[in-house]
Structure 1
Amino acid sequence: MSAVRLISNHTLKLQPQRSSSQLFRRHASSSVAEGSFTARRGLYASLLLLSTGALAAYYFDSRAAIHRYVLTPVIRHILDAENGHKLAVRVLASGFAPRDTQSDDERLKVQLWEDELSNPIGLAAGFDKHGEAVDGLFNLGFSWVEIGSVTPKPQPGNARPRMFHLMDDTAVINRYGFPSDGHATVLARLRARFPIFYQEGSEPHASLRSNALLAVNLGKNKTSPVESADDFVSGIRAFGSYADVLVVNISSPNTPGLRALQSHALLEDLLGRVTHALDEIATSESNKSRRPKLVLKIAPDLDEAQVDDIAKAILQKSVDGVIVSNTTVRRPSTLTDANKAEAGGLSGPPLKPYSLATLRMLRARLPAAVPIIGCGGISSGADALEYAKAGATAVQIYTSFGYDGVGTCRRIKDELAEALSREGATWMETVQRASAELSLKPEDRSAHTSIAQLTKEAEELMRLVDELGERVGGADPSKDNSATESTGVLPVVSNGTERSDFVLFSMANARQWVILDRSDNAASPCIFATLAYEAIDQGAQVASSNSKGRTISGTLMYRRGQLLERIPRHAEASEKLYLDYKIKPTGDKDKKLIWAIA
């Protein structure tokens, strides 16, 4: 069979007729092609939907399983600990990182100083060392993001490798050694977050969020003298206008000699200089609206005597809060991972018992008005609640964030809200109950108001004054000074009101005076400094000082035996007193400070 086909130029062509089998095969082939296209189109659509869903889960749900069980383990498997850390920071800095879009439960609100934060979960220093991902981290739901440690000059830190996963223990050992881009570079990054026409101090929070705080952790350069406070003072001045909290880090185990600054003498001097620098910022014309809080970060490897010294220094220098704790150099017997032999600071669940023990010791030595931020081994809502019941006002995480990924903060908040709901309490109710029970209680003054008791205390101090001898009162040590005795108690007057917590004793032999601080007031150092400085203003001549630079001698003139109290900013008074006259407390008597001035 043939068929006639019309082609161009009106020409007819005879074409063979296709058989029925050929027609069937052609039709079948066409049907298969159409079906294949439809299947591919369905597959592509499904993949697109799945990709869109995965992207939405990645971006809008920080607690999605993809983060904890897929992305984080894969990164940990293909990259070493430090490179995985760097990748995480870069992703968070890129603006394409996941975020926590849920509102925090009302039970989680926390009052920290004058601020009400939406939750008590913060990120500890060490994750964002150079201030590269501040806003990406806040987007994960943290109420406190702490960058650093930041050193004045750039430094590379210790040699690699310097970070090790202890997978069997869900822990980390690091010996970074403060790698830092330096003050100038990090400060430029923080400034870049602010509007172009920003004036220093004009924003109520450096975090640029109403219910969150930005902290900068200050470190020392490895080449700086151990006893020097210059690096910390430089950090205060650099970041004071761009931080809500400034953290003095004297507890890293990876900078030689740094932990020595936790000793009482060095810490007292350090905090005196730092608080003075902070007060200068607070009173500057450009930053009158905001004074950053000063927080001290301490180690978990302290005994009771060391914690005593730290608590004294905190109260004397009016530090605003404490972070307990940094990493530990101890290696508990429970560790099983082979990396436990590496040198450095240990963090994660094995750190928690040490941090909690130190927190409890310090909580008992500080009044409830001084908040403690708990840090160490927190990986669940139950862990956070345990810290609250030990007296912590807020908590920080780090290692669990590295292990579990970007949803860790939201997961802990959800678990904590559920735990508080079961207990029928809020976070702040739990904190206040623990603080009332565990914190240092104000001393009952009623038993200390009688003249007889004050005179007895004065007699106990006579030996101290006698030992000062000629350097204190001009008495001739070759003569018999046995006639020295307390001749009475003169009042310390403030605004026309006699104070019972500060007592001025008159000593007969050489117009010697002893001021005894009988208060546990955190402001007592400022009153001491002011009293002594006021006395100098009224006629004292500095003649000599002892080997420790802690006493002065000369002739004092008092107006009717009274020191009129005039308190400027306490750090200014303390600093001026120390810089001009090298005056410090002579010692303590039953944990009461003593000044001896002639």
Structure 2
Amino acid sequence: MKALEILGLRGLRRLDPELAHGLALKALRAGLGPRRGPVTSDRLRCTIAGLDLPNPVGLAAGFDKNAEALSALHRSAFGFLEVGAATPLPQDGNPRPRLFRLTEDRAAINRFGFNNDGMEAIARRLAARPAGRVVGLNLGANKTSLDRAADFAKVLGRCGAHVDFATVNVSSPNTEKLRDLQGKDALAALLSGVMEANTARIPVFLKIAPDLTDNDLAEVAEVANASGVAAIVATNTTLSRDGLTSAHRAEGGGLSGQPLFEKSTRVLAKLSTLTPVPLIGVGGVGSAEQAYAKIRAGASAVQLYTALVYGGLSLAREIALGLDDLLARDGFATVADAVGTGTGDWL
């Protein structure tokens, strides 16, 4: 991490977290930030759901909700990018404050509630994005919708032609009853509608919660296997507060960051035994060693977001380069060769 980035992060952490996030996006749009592009090598290059990636380290949804900073993120080290979540209609989300740093825990709690500019504005920005990078869109549902399942299909129908993949997000804890759509019958019906709306024929991913029981996971895997889902993103934020020490530990919302690493990785490993569908490991990735652990647990790729609050955007480059070294150390010629080689350690 460069000295300028260290100073910038130090200054941002003195501000309200949501204000700091907005300023970071403005800085990116103004031309600050990474410039060297994605890290790659023969070991790091990989393919997931038919998408060729320079490396398996992705930016998770939530950082660039409204697809405003894609030109800047185009120059980042990430192997792929995901923006959103987008809903059919613009919505403000939940009242502020709704984002909290848990510095002592290297974590965050958010209860945004899918605040975004709506699919029309986001579709226009996606249509104008730079070419040459794999970009996906996280699909959401409006809080006031009478048919939330149909909302996912609406957003995909409007935006699908402008992205390389789309993620059905039924795992946010901040929209009432949204997680109910992870139930077997509801999820099967939702995904059927989404697949029908997928006229662009892009890969559709499914993002699940880390708080599912073993029976829930088995049902999710069964539906995923039958629905044509191209990958499962495991996992979103958790409602658990186990082991936290920070002052904001009791705030409502979804917890992300380091405390989620072990829980999300165990879910990932269990899921890998239930489905041949490729998995993307998310939750607590803040180092090359943690990215490697997710891959060995069964992930074909990983994503991160909260760790950037503490490590900056340069963290993506550090993780990708470190991952390359770890693969070489253990004699793996490619990322794909390492996938699932340590699953048993997490079961």
**TM norm structure 1:** 0.56
User: Relative contact order, CA 8 A, sep 6+: which one is greater?
Assistant: 2
CA distance in 2, matches of 1:433, 1:381: 16
- 1:380 is matched with 287
- 1:502 is matched with none
Contact 2:208-2:232 at 8 Å conserved across structures: yes
CA distance in 2, matches of 1:101, 1:85: 22
Deviation at 1:109, TM superposition (A): 1.3
> In structure 2, the residue corresponding to 1:106 is in which secondary structure?
coil
> In structure 2, the residue corresponding to 1:241 is in which secondary structure?
helix
- 2:265 is matched with 356
Correspondent of 2:124 among 181, 188, 196? 188
- 1:428 is matched with 336
- 2:101 is matched with 165
Correspondent of 2:275 among 353, 366, 375? 366
- 1:268 is matched with 188
Q: Which moved more, 1:421-430 or 1:90-99?
A: 90-99
CA distance in 1, matches of 2:39, 2:100: 35
CA distance in 2, matches of 1:385, 1:103: 16
Alignment of 1:168-317 (within 5 A): 168-193=104-129, 208-209=131-132, 212-225=133-146, 228-278=148-198, 281-282=199-200, 291-317=201-227
Contact 2:39-2:55 at 8 Å conserved across structures: no
Correspondent of 2:311 among 404, 424, 444? 404
Alignment of 1:4-19 (within 5 A): none
Alignment of 1:333-352 (within 5 A): 333=243, 335-352=244-261
Count of matched residue positions in the alignment of Structure 1 and Structure 2: 344
Deviation at 1:353, TM superposition (A): 1.3
Contact 2:285-2:307 at 8 Å conserved across structures: yes
CA distance in 1, matches of 2:339, 2:235: 18
CA distance in 1, matches of 2:222, 2:172: 21
CA distance in 2, matches of 1:130, 1:332: 32
Alignment of 1:87-98 (within 5 A): 87-98=23-34
Change (3 A) 1:434 1:169: closer
RMSD value, Cα: 1.7
Change (3 A) 1:361 1:102: closer
Contact 1:100-1:410 at 8 Å conserved across structures: no
Q: What are structure 1's unaligned runs of at least 5 residues?
A: 1-62, 195-207, 283-290, 439-598
Q: Over residues 537-570 of structure 1, what are the superposed CA-to-partner deviations in whole Å (9 max), with x where a residue is unaligned?
A: xxxxxxxxxxxxxxxxxxxxxxxxxxxxxxxxxx
Deviation at 1:96, TM superposition (A): 3.6
Deviation at 1:104, TM superposition (A): 2.3
Correspondent of 2:4 among 50, 56, 66? 66
- 2:229 is matched with 319
CA distance in 1, matches of 2:298, 2:188: 24
CA distance in 2, matches of 1:76, 1:64: 17
CA distance in 2, matches of 1:80, 1:374: 29
Deviation at 1:101, TM superposition (A): 5.0
CA distance in 2, matches of 1:103, 1:246: 23
Alignment of 1:471-486 (within 5 A): none
- 1:151 is matched with 87
Amino acid at match of 1:322: I
Deviation at 1:312, TM superposition (A): 1.0
CA distance in 2, matches of 1:432, 1:363: 8
Q: Which moved more, 1:104-113 or 1:159-168?
A: 104-113
CA distance in 2, matches of 1:187, 1:294: 17
- 2:323 is matched with 416
Amino acid at match of 2:69: A
CA distance in 2, matches of 1:355, 1:101: 29
Deviation at 1:354, TM superposition (A): 1.3
Deviation at 1:98, TM superposition (A): 2.9
Deviation at 1:64, TM superposition (A): 2.1
Correspondent of 1:139 among 75, 79, 83? 75
> In structure 2, the residue corresponding to 1:165 is in which secondary structure?
strand
Change (3 A) 1:260 1:408: same
CA distance in 1, matches of 2:340, 2:184: 29
Amino acid at match of 2:236: N
> In structure 2, the residue corresponding to 1:72 is in which secondary structure?
helix
> In structure 2, the residue corresponding to 1:341 is in which secondary structure?
coil
Contact 1:296-1:323 at 8 Å conserved across structures: yes
Deviation at 1:112, TM superposition (A): 1.3
CA distance in 2, matches of 1:149, 1:101: 24
Amino acid at match of 2:239: V
Change (3 A) 1:418 1:406: same
The yes-or-no answer on 1:122 pairing with 2:30 is no
Contact 1:129-1:148 at 8 Å conserved across structures: yes
Amino acid at match of 1:418: D
Q: What are structure 2's unaligned runs of at least 5 residues?
A: none
Q: Over residues 84-103 of structure 1, what are the superposed CA-to-partner deviations in whole Å (9 max), with x where a residue is unaligned?
A: 00011111123343323575
> In structure 1, the residue corresponding to 2:299 is in which secondary structure?
coil
